[in-house]
Amino acid sequence: MILVTTETISGKELETLGLVKGSTIQTVNAIRDIGSGLKTLVGGELTKYNEMMNNARALATKRMVEEAESLGADAVVTVRYSSASVMQSAAEVMAYGTAVRFK
């Protein structure tokens, strides 16, 4: 599956199949959250949160691709990601784009 942020794919004529998306809500465990809270006192990267968000993006992308495949898509164009805080220590990540088939 080809994923691009552009509206077109060079050298390909595209047939639009429709919007596809994938999402997940992820959180870190409470013990790690306490450790991250203490980290804010001294500064630095919150590696467990980075890990959580990377995993969430990967899962949201996988779900989007699965939806595109179910439509018979060859690619997803105009891929975008969004995230939102759902509650303390939890975030929703959504991947979305337009499923297309090569003509």
Q: What is the pLDDT of residues 66-84, one digit of tens each?
A: 999 999 999 999 999 999 9
Contact between 64 and 19 (Cβ < 8 Å): no
Q: Is the pLDDT of residue 30 over 90?
A: no
Domain layout of the chain by residue ranges:
2-102
Which pLDDT band, with edges at 50, 70 and 90, does 1 fall under? very high
Token code pair at residue 6? 């552009």
Question: What angle in degrees, to the nearest 10, is found between the helix axes of 47-70 and 30-42?
Answer: 130
pTM of the prediction?
0.85
Write down the pLDDT at residue 67. Answer: 98
Instruction: Please count the other Cβ atoms lying within 10 Å of the Cβ belonging to residue 86.
Output: 12
CA distance linking residue 76 with residue 70, whole number of Å? 12
Q: What integer pLDDT is reported at residue 31 of this predicted model?
A: 52
Range 2-102 has CATH code 3.30.110.70: yes
**Summary mean pLDDT of the chain:** 89
Q: CA nearest 17: which of 101, 102, 92, 78?
A: 101
Of the pLDDT bands very low, low, confident and very high (cuts 50, 70, 90), residue 39 is low
Bridge-partner residues for 20, per DSSP? 97
